[in-house]
Amino acid sequence: MLRIKATLFQYLAKYGVDKSGGGDIIYQKVDGENGPIRVLRYMPSNSKQEKYPVHVHIHGGGWVIGVADMDNAWCRRTADETGSVVISIDYAKAPQHPFPAAIHDIRDVILSLSKDPTLDVSRLTIGGLSAGGNLSIAWTVYCLQNNLTLPVLLVPIYPATDLTIPYSEKMSRVPEKTRAKSISFWMADLFFKSYTTTEEENENMLASPARAPADILAKFPKTIILTAELDSLHVEADDFAKQLSENGVEVIHHLYPGAVHGYANYHYDAKADTPDARAKEESFTLMVQEIKKYACISPFQRNFLYTNDTKGGGDIINQNIDGANGPIRVLKYLPTNSKQGNYPVHVHLHGGGFVVGRADMDNAWCRRIADETGSVVLSIDYAKAPQHPFPAALHNIRDVIHSISKDADLDESRLTIGGLSAGGNLSLAWTVYCLQNNLTLPILLLPVYPPTDISLDYNEKLNAVSEEARAKSIPAWIVDLFDTSYTTNRADVLVSPGRAPDTLLSKFPKTIMLTAELDSLHIEADSMANRLSENGVEVIHHIYPGATHGYANNNAKPGTPDAIAKEETLKLVIQEIKKVNNHL
Domains and CATH numbers, the chain: 2-296 (3.40.50.1820), 315-583 (3.40.50.1820)
Q: What DSSP designation does 474 have? A: P
223-227, 292-296, 489-493: least confident range: 292-296
pLDDT in tens, 463-504: 999 999 999 898 888 898 899 999 999 999 999 999 999 999
Question: Closest by alpha carbon to 541, among 531, 530, 553?
Answer: 530
- At residue 10, the pLDDT reads 45
- Largest CA-CA distance found in the chain, in angstroms, rounded: 84
- pLDDT band at residue 5, thresholds of 50, 70 and 90? very low
E strand or H helix at 455: none
- At residue 516, the pLDDT reads 96
Q: Which DSSP string do the residues of 224-282 spell out, in sequence order?
A: EEEEEEE-TTHHHHHHHHHHHHHTT--EEEEEEEEEETTGGGS---TT--SHHHHHHHH
Q: What DSSP designation does 56 have? A: E
Name every residue whose Cβ is closer than 8 Å to that of residue 515 and which is 6 or more positions away in sequence: 448, 449, 521, 522, 525, 526, 541, 542, 543, 544
pTM of the model: 0.59
- Label the pairing between strands 119-129 and 326-333: unpaired
Helix (H, G, I), strand (E, B) or coil at 204: coil
Residue 226 above 70 pLDDT? yes
What is the rounded (10 degree) CA torsion for 457, 425, 481, 72? Answer: -170
Backbone angles phi, psi at 257, to 5 degrees: -65, 135
Rounded Cα distance, 393 and 380, in Å: 9
Q: Residue 531 CB: number of other CB atoms within 10 A?
A: 18
Q: Which amino acid is at 190?
A: L
2-16, 355-369, 388-402: least confident range: 2-16
High-pLDDT (> 90) share of the chain, %:
75
- At residue 23, the pLDDT reads 72
Rounded Cα distance, 156 and 129, in Å: 6
Rounded Cα distance, 348 and 582, in Å: 20
Rounded Cα distance, 341 and 556, in Å: 36
Rounded Cα distance, 59 and 37, in Å: 14
- Average pLDDT taken over every residue of the chain: 90
- Helix/strand/coil percentages in the chain, nearest 5: 40, 20, 35
Rounded Cα distance, 55 and 127, in Å: 8
Residue 47 above 80 pLDDT? no
pLDDT in tens, 453-464: 999 999 999 999
| Peptide bond before residue 95 is cis, with ω within 30 degrees of 0 | yes
22-31, 236-245, 307-316, 561-570: least confident range: 307-316
The stretch 115-137 carries a mean pLDDT of 95
- At residue 386, the pLDDT reads 87
- β-pair partners for 39: 28, 89
Question: Closest by alpha carbon to 57, among 159, 127, 147, 111?
Answer: 127
- At residue 341, the pLDDT reads 75
